[in-house]
Structure formats: C-alpha cells, structure tokens
C-alpha cells in the first residue's frame, strides 16, 4: 500500500513540474475588444502585441516602459522587424507622454485667449529649450520608428491594410508629429519662414504646400492640436483620417489702431487649418533613416491638398475641417456684438458690414455667401456652415464667406452697405475679374438676411424711390430725388457676382409677430447710432422736410425706421419692395418652416414668419420643413441646401463645357 501511495505521489509531482493547467474562462466580447484596443496612446500602457514581443524576447515590459532604449536595442535581433519597429515606437510614445509638456503648452498658450495681444510677461518669458526638450526628442523617435514601420519594413502598407497594428502605429506617428510640430513652432517663433530649425536633436527644414505667399505674411501666435479639442453645440466634427496630424494655426487679431482694419470689410480667417507630416532623410534604407539627424516637416493646406506621395506611394493626408471653424466661433464674440449693437444706448457709430472668409481665398472655388437674420450673427449658421465644410464634394467646389452686419439699421441701409462690402471684397481678391471665385456665386439668406439677399439680386428701377417720395410735397420730393444718399438707398441693381439664391424662413411680405405687443415694446428699445441720427437730421434739414412728412414714411420723433420696423407687414419698406422681381433668369429656392403641422400650409407659419410671406412664386424649388423659425439649424434644411448645391454644381459644369 505504501508503495502505491508513493507511486501516485511521484506521478503527481512529475505531472506538476512538467505541465501547466489551463483553465478556460468565457469573457464578454466588449471586454475583449477593450483589452485589444488598449495601448500607449489610448490607455497609457503597452498594447498586448508590444508586451508579447518583449516577453517573447525575455524582456520585462514594465522595465522596458521605464527605460526603452536598452530594450529597443536588445529586441532588434530577437524579433521580426515589424514587431521590433512597432514596439519601439510604442515604447518611445510612453516616454514622450511621461515627459513634461512644456513646449506644447507654450505653443498653445495664446490660442484660446480672448485678448488681442499677449501680455508683457508672456513676451518677456524665456522660450523653452526646444532642441534639448526630452518630450520633443521622444516624439521624434516615436515618429522615426513609426515611419520606418509604415514605409521601410518588408511588407507594404497595402499588404497590412486589415491589420489593427498598422492603424495603431499610424496613430502613434500622428500623435508624435503633433508634438514635433508644436516644438518646431516654438523654435521658429518670431521668424516667419525660418528654416532649418534645431528641434529635438534634429536639423529640421520646413516646406509649405498649397498656401499663397500672401496668406502667411504673419507669424502665428499659437498652434493647437485639432483632435484634442471638443466643441459644445457643434453637431459633428468633420475630419479625414490619414497620414500626418491636423492642427490649427492661430494668427493675431487685427489691431484696433490699424487703419486698414477699419476701412476694409473683408477678414481673412484668423484660424488656419494645417496638416503636418515628418519625413526622415536617408538613402531609403532602414538603418539610414534610423540614424538620420536631418528631417523635413511638410505643412499642407487641407482645403487644397488631400494626398501626398510618401516613400513612393500615394497616401491620404489627415485633416480636420471643423476645428478651426469651431475655435473662430467660440472666440469671435459676434453674438454679443450683434445684441449690443441692437440695444446698447449711446452708440457713436454703426459698425460696417464685415465679410468673413472661412478658409484662405481660393481663386478656383466658387463662393457661397451666408447672410444671417435679425439680432443674429454668423453663429446662426454654426451647423449649416460646418456641414458644408465637412461635405467632401462641396468642399472641393465651394468656399464659404459669411456676412456680419448691424441689424438695428434699416433693411435698405444694410442692403446698400452689404452690396458695397461684397463688391469691395470680390474686387480685392479678384482684381482682374477672371477668377472662378469672382462670379457665379451662391447667395444664402435666413430671415431678415433672406430679405436683404433677395434685394441683392433684384433690380429696383425707380419703384422704391417713387413709393418712398409719395408722402412728400412735390417740391420736397424733387429735392430728395436728387439726393445721392436717397438714391443710393432706394435705387439699386442686382449684384452681377451671384447666379443662384436660397432663402430660408425669409419674411418677404413681413413677419406678423413684429406687430405683436411684446416685440412692439422691444422695437422701442432698439437704439440707432448717433452718426445715423445726425446724418438723417442733416438730410431732413437740408431738404426742408418737416416731421409730419417724416412720420408718414415710418419715422418716430425724427428717428428713421430700424430693421425690425421694416419687417412689419405694414411698413413702407414692405409695401415698396415686396413685389420687386428677382433678376430674370436667376434660379432661386425657398426653404420654409411649418411649426404647427395640423394647420393647412397656407395658414401656417414658423412661429414668426407666415408661409404666405416666405413663399415666392417662381422659385425653382420649395421645401417645407417641420420647424420653428430657426429652420437653418435643422438637418432637413441642411440636407436640402446640400441638394440644391449639387444641382448647382451639375448645371455649372454643363455651362463650363465648351
């Protein structure tokens, strides 16, 4: 019996020393998916594949994460080259993330500031040492190993197209370029176009692609990483996955003392989207690239360039089309300025309309002009503009301009001022008149902006002038008829730059809600600038016009009508303009909101504008959408506008064919 027990014990000992017992445990698929996707970038620790490569070579993954360089050297002869390069890139990324982000913070410091200029303390602060910065050096090594994995390993990127590791290494590369680009920005601060630069132990040259020399005449004041930014009230962020990192270069505001800033209506974008890549010099061999101390950073305009040839193969470039637009809206304070111009007392002068370009001017892309409504600003277009920018097909053919104007002034005053501002802007960017962008533009207006837009593509003849002068005695009417100011406001022609128009929730025959008692009270609170009141008083005095006659055309106690006054169906403005014909042959479309679907369409409204007022006979299309007055914010309206623009593209292409 003792012998049998001993034999069994010996077998147990023998089995226990030679075999491991494997137990099967079922796990939720979601847990497995999360575990597979954790890496140095997403979870702050090595991915399973990197830990496996190190463990298989007898190296401790935790020790390697703390001291990557010895492990990278030891791993090379012990692992397949792709395993080695991918693991080396991830180890360097862990080291990059562990280092202080001094340079990155300096590069981003002014990007989200509201003030126009950096403080004296910021100007005098010592710049970080970019060449010796540990985080920058680790970022360069991350990018170097990732670049070698992507383009210099035995298999091509196309052969690994379905592998998760390739996508992971590309993310490592892009994140590292983000850090290197911000370091290069710091190294070149105050030196426009400086190259080469000493960055993280590299001699780094900079090459720009897709930018005109006139677009980059100033040094940016900050550089922001696009994909780390989040935006409230922006339904979607439109980006393109690809090679490189998407950034936003932030340029200084115009100084208030700059005379050009006051005299010119056009505003180039202050927030410029860029895409950056890094290529390491060498003879094309793996060892040469890994040893190279020189490299080139290519900076692309993502609106003009969407791919590049890297290491002999064409690859898509990363881009973010929403970040620059979102930062502009978040920091512009246009909504506050719009409301203050409407209600703030003691305004010295009205601000002139401004034309904001949402991307660098492109002579080969047609222009879409957006005109906002009452008490509003370009912020009213936040999702519509973002989705137009995010539509790849439309983005290739159009560029966006947004009009900002003071809605307290009369509609005729704003029509004349916006006409002048747009004319000056087209002439500035296309002085010879031969650009694609200088003609066949599309005009889009919402609410009161739609009324103004209709007048921008209409020919008044003398009809508005005659209707305005009916209230005056013949002598005064004749004197006023010869006044340049009066003629400028009441006699106008369609702007030649536009070939299509879209009107959204536009009260072409007035908004009934403006005559309700709450808005009548608000209309009384609206203030006009002193210069407008003074010019009006001088005009009346010069032409011997009395208060009774002025009252007949909508003046109250010598104050001319405001924009909200003009929107009343009973206003002189509406009576004199509602039947003005749109330029013959110009196609136009309407998008209408219907708030209460139980009502018949002809009796319905969007809560502010009746259907009968928004409807236009002769429209090429009319889309009625279940919505309140802010119909331009609805996905249905945006889809309809995108449809109209595709029709416009197709018809334009037909006309362009010889």
Domain count, the chain: 1
pLDDT range class, residue 554, cuts 50, 70, 90: low
Contact 620, 589 (CB under 8 A): yes
Report if residue 401 sits inside a domain. Answer: yes
Q: Give the whole-angstrom CA distance, residue 310 versus residue 83.
A: 22
Q: Check residue 111 and give its pLDDT.
A: 63
Can you tell me the mean pLDDT for 333-344? 72
Whether the full predicted model's pTM is greater than 0.75, yes or no, is: yes
Per the model's pLDDT, the better-predicted residue between 444 and 214 turns out to be: 444
SS3 25: coil
Residue 365 has pLDDT above 80, yes or no: yes
pLDDT range class, residue 581, cuts 50, 70, 90: very high
Tell me which of 280-294, 551-565, 640-654 is least confident. 551-565
Report if residue 135 sits inside a domain. Answer: no
Torsion of CA 630, 636, 639, 643, to 10 degrees: -100
Can you tell me the mean pLDDT for 145-170? 94
Report if residue 187 sits inside a domain. Answer: no
Report if residue 363 sits inside a domain. Answer: yes
Can you tell me the mean pLDDT for 401-419? 94
Report if residue 648 sits inside a domain. Answer: yes
Report if residue 384 sits inside a domain. Answer: yes
Q: Which of 178, 216, 211 is nearest to 194 (CA)?
A: 216
Report if residue 136 sits inside a domain. Answer: no
The enclosing domain of 566 has a CATH number of 3.40.50.1820
Report if residue 2 sits inside a domain. Answer: no
Looking up tokens 């020790």 gives 63
H helix runs in 470-614, sequence order: 474-481, 484-490, 517-525, 530-542, 547-552, 563-566, 572-577, 611-614
Nearest 5°: the CA angle 103, 107, 111 is 150
Q: Which domain holds residue 509?
A: 332-459+502-526+562-656
pLDDT (tens digit per residue) in 225-279: 998 888 888 899 999 999 999 999 998 887 655 555 567 999 998 899 999 999 9
């Amino acid at each position: 019996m003792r012998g049998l027990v001993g034999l069994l014990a010996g077998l147990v000992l023998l089995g226990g020393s030679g075999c491991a017992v494997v137990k099967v445990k079922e796990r939720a698929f979601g847990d497995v998916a999360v575990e597979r996707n954790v890496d140095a970038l997403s979870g702050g620790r090595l991915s399973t594949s990197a830990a496996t490569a190190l463990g298989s070579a007898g190296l401790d993954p935790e020790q390697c994460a703390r001291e990557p360089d010895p492990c990278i050297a030891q791993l090379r002869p012990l692992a397949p080259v792709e395993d080695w390069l991918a693991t080396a890139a991830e180890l360097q990324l862990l080291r990059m993330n562990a280092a202080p982000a001094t340079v990155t913070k300096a590069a981003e410091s002014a990007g989200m500031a509201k003030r126009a200029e950096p403080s004296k303390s910021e100007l005098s602060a010592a710049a970080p040492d970019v060449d010796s910065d540990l985080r920058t050096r680790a970022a360069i090594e991350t990018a170097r190993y990732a670049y070698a994995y992507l383009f210099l390993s035995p298999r091509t990127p196309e052969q690994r197209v379905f592998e998760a590791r390739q996508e992971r290494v590309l993310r490592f590369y892009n994140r590292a370029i983000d850090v290197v680009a911000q370091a290069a920005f710091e190294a070149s601060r105050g030196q426009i176009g400086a190259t080469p630069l000493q960055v993280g132990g590299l001699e780094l040259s900079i090459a720009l692609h897709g930018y005109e020399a006139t677009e980059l005449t100033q040094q940016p004041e900050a550089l922001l990483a696009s994909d780390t930014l989040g935006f409230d009230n922006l339904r979607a962020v439109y980006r393109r996955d690809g090679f490189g990192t998407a950034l936003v270069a932030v340029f200084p505001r115009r100084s208030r003392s700059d005379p050009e800033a006051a005299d010119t209506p056009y505003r180039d974008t202050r927030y410029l989207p860029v895409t950056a890549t890094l290529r390491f010099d060498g003879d094309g061999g793996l060892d040469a690239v890994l040893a190279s101390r020189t490299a080139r950073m290519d900076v692309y305009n993502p609106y003009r360039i969407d791919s590049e040839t890297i290491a002999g193969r064409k690859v898509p470039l990363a881009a973010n089309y929403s970040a620059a637009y979102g930062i502009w809206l978040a920091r512009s304070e246009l909504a506050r300025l719009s409301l203050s111009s409407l209600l703030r007392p003691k305004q010295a002068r009205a601000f002139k309309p401004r034309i904001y370009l949402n991307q660098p001017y492109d002579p080969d892309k047609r222009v879409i002009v957006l005109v906002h409504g009452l008490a509003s600003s370009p912020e009213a277009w936040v999702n519509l503009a973002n989705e137009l920018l995010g539509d790849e097909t439309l983005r290739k053919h159009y560029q966006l301009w947004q009009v900002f104007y003071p809605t307290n002034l009369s509609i005729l005053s704003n029509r004349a001022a916006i006409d002048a501002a747009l004319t000056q802007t087209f002439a500035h960017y296309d002085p010879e008149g031969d650009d694609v962008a200088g003609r066949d533009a599309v005009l889009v207006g919402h609410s009161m902006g739609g009324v103004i837009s209709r007048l921008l593509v209409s020919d008044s003849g003398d009809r508005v002038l005659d209707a305005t002068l009916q209230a005056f005695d013949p002598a005064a009417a004749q004197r006023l008829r010869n006044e340049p100011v009066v003629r400028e406001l009441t006699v106008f022609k369609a702007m030649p730059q536009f070939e299509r128009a879209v009107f959204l929730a536009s009260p072409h025959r007035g908004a009934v809600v403006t005559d309700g008692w709450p808005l009548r009270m608000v209309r009384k609170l609206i203030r006009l600038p002193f210069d407008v009141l003074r010019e009006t008083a001088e005009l009346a005095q010069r032409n011997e016009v009395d208060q009774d006659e002025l009252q007949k055309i909508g003046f109250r106690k010598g104050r001319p009508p405001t924009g909200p006054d003009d929107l009343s169906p009973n206003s002189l403005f509406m009576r004199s303009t509602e039947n003005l014909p749109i330029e013959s042959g110009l196609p136009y479309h309407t998008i209408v909101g219907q708030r209460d679907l139980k009502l018949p369409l002809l009796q319905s409204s969007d809560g502010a504008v009746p259907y009968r007022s928004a409807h236009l006979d002769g429209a090429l299309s009319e889309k009625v959408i279940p919505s309140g007055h802010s119909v331009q914010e609805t996905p249905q309206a945006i889809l309809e506008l995108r449809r109209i623009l595709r029709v416009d593209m197709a018809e334009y292409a037909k006309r362009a064919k010889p």
